Amino acid sequence: MKRVEGTICAEGPKRCYVDIVIKLPCPECGSELGHDFNGSYLSHPEVGDECNANFYCEKCDEDGKPCEYNLVVKITKYAIELEYDETSLKHDGF
């Protein structure tokens, strides 16, 4: 089993974009297929959920043998990354 990690960019509770790209060889022709979760969001994601990553082979389509594949992936954890500058710490004034 392969694991990949990425940074989550949520757009409300409905859509979650993740900077993860899964690349696999096409089972038919061997050309590289990819699924970009930053361009294809996860809908209502929860840890433990399974979702589908769809792969379409353009080379097979050009050769007249269109093929599309589905890969089930599981959300195993969330990660949040924050950046800050310590020198910008300001007093709240109370």
Q: What digits encode the pLDDT tens for the residues 2-54?
A: 555 565 555 555 777 788 888 889 999 999 999 898 888 888 777 888 888 88
Whole-prediction pTM: 0.64
Taking 70 as the threshold, does the pLDDT of residue 89 lie above it?
no
**CA pair distance 28, 51, nearest whole angstrom:** 23
The tokens describing 18, both together, are 């993740």
Give how far Cα 58 sits from Cα of 28, 34, 69, Å. 12, 11, 12
pLDDT at 80: 61
**CA pair distance 33, 31, nearest whole angstrom:** 6
